Structure 1
């Protein structure tokens, strides 16, 4: 089953997989992680408009992280493929967490997106270590949460030096 390529119609018949694939953004033929991070931006924008920001958004991210363990585990099982690149719920939740703690301005959001994608792609220690040793839904979610933490450290240092 390693040659299996999920489609949008396959996702539509599996609601948890649709979430796991970031509403279909994880189906991108190239850079699914990058495309999969994008839904976090309009989601955060709407949440900001209705007043869910800062620590409230972070608390929501904790809930989404816990749900994400189940969503990603289920999606992995349905696919029959471990840590499939199109599973991007982890990117969405991690990016929402980063956006909870940066100013509500397009330049900060662009920087947050770029720095997060850099950490997620390069996977410096301990991200790569976690990625190799923690499997299943928790493993999928955990390495991106750590990348989000690294991103916040870098952005807060940049704000401080600025």
Structure 2
């Protein structure tokens, strides 16, 4: 019999393993209300701080390292929660939104608000290609989950949501 699923992780779970700390978005995923949105807001705040202290190239390197780190963290956190795609795992939102902000910068506050709204729309509503990416690695039976595939799937749909957001922004700017 598989261990019970953890629907709402605690601070104790957050700090029990470095992967949990990263996977739960440094604590932003502990929100009981809209953890994906809270994680994205945390990403925005963190990006603003990084932008103040780091060059765009350094931020690009951080994003590059955060992708495989996120795959690892999302995989282990989902496995330890015994859920293939837990809502509390928000590192996927963090990295994907960093990509959006990094590629639209320089951007004023209104452009960043539009980027946030577009990303949250694509991530939550999952239209078209985002739904396809979300279903590609979706595994429903926790007893049969291939955790590394689940972790990749957790990251993939948010990366596609980021791409769709960037595509809309590029079309908007071109118009």
Tell me if TM exceeds 0.5: yes
Of 114, 117, 126, the residue aligned with 1:114 is 117
Q: Which residue of 2 aligns with 1:79?
A: 81
User: 1-side partners of 2:52 and 2:172: how far apart?
Assistant: 26
TM-score by length of 2: 0.84
Q: Deviations over 1:55-106 (max 9, x none)?
A: 6534432321111110100101111111001100000000000000112321
2:27 paired residue among 24, 28, 31: 24
Q: Does the 8 Å CA contact 1:69/1:137 hold for their aligned counterparts?
A: yes
Q: Does 1:158 align with 2:160?
A: no
1:10 and 1:51 mapped to 2: Cα distance? 31
Give the 4+ runs in structure 1 shifted more than 6 A.
Answer: none
Once the two structures are superposed, the pairs formed by residues 63-78 of structure 1 within 5 Å of their partners are 63-78=65-80
TM-score (norm 1): 0.91
Could you say what the CA RMSD is over the residues aligned between the two structures, in angstroms? Answer: 1.6
Q: Does 1:144 align with 2:158?
A: yes
Structure 1 CA distance for aligned equivalents of residues 66 and 82 of structure 2: 23
